């Protein structure tokens, strides 16, 4: 136990300037701070946990893996999202199944799929090699026909692209926001 490092960990939950300074010093200390951050993590609030995740990512010590996996069960959706993304960016062994469970928990909570938490978790699963993004063939073909200096797809084919993505469960359409024609929403 190092009282100075323990104090810095507690300061992660402090006011913005205090937290930022503690974060910077913990990153400077590096892997020697990892055990104290792991031990102090349960006592931190959401802000402190998010800041601790940032320290874990900057330091890159794989010993934080189990602590990050534990944060996937947080009550805070941003903590869950950042933990999943940190697990992926740090390439933590054994993270795939806990991140999959976190994604299933999003589905069970009926979190809208376009919110940041499920989006971040899907990104993490892709980075961990556990998910392959799908681009339906029509959408892929239409992107290839876009002008070289135009990013994306031709706007004249927008409805066709949205329909193609929806047909392949790649987007979810809400009738109050999108109406393609009278017979299809």
- Rounded to two decimals, what is the model's pTM? 0.76
**Percent of the chain clearing pLDDT 70 (strictly above):** 86
3-state secondary structure of 184: strand
The 10s digit of each residue's pLDDT in 160-185 is: 888 887 777 665 554 434 444 434 43
The pLDDT value recorded for residue 169 is 64
What is the per-residue DSSP string for 64-78?
Answer: GHHHHHHHTT-S-HH
Higher pLDDT, 52 or 126: 52
Tell which CATH architecture fits domain 62-133: Alpha Horseshoe (1.25)
The 10s digit of each residue's pLDDT in 129-160 is: 888 777 778 887 877 666 666 667 777 888 88
Query: Which parts of the chain are beta strand (E)?
Result: none
3-state secondary structure of 163: helix
Radius of gyration of the chain (CA): 21
Q: How confident is the model at residue 40 (pLDDT cuts 50, 70, 90)?
A: very high
Where do the structural domains in the chain lie, given as residue ranges?
Answer: 1-60, 62-133, 134-185
Task: Give the integer Cα–Cα distance in Å for 16 and 126.
Answer: 32
Task: Give the integer Cα–Cα distance in Å for 61 and 33.
Answer: 10
């Amino acid at each position: 136990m190092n009282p100075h490092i323990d104090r810095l960990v507690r300061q992660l939950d402090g006011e913005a300037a205090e937290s930022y300074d503690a974060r910077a010093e913990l990153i400077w200390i590096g892997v020697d701070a990892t055990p104290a951050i792991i031990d102090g993590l349960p006592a931190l609030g959401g802000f402190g946990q998010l800041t601790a995740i940032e320290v874990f990512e900057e330091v890159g010590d794989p010993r934080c893996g189990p602590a990050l996996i534990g944060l996937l069960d947080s009550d805070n959706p941003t903590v869950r999202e950042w933990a999943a993304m940190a697990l992926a960016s740090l390439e933590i062994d054994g993270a795939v199944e806990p991140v999959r469970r976190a994604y299933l928990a999003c589905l069970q909570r009926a979190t809208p799929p376009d919110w940041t938490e499920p989006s971040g978790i899907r990104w993490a699963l892709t980075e961990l090699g556990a998910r392959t993004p799908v681009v339906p063939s029509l959408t892929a073909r239409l992107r290839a026909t876009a002008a070289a200096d135009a990013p994306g797809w031709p706007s004249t084919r927008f409805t066709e692209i949205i329909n193609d993505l929806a047909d392949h469960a790649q987007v979810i359409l809400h009738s109050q926001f999108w109406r393609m024609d009278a017979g299809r929403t």
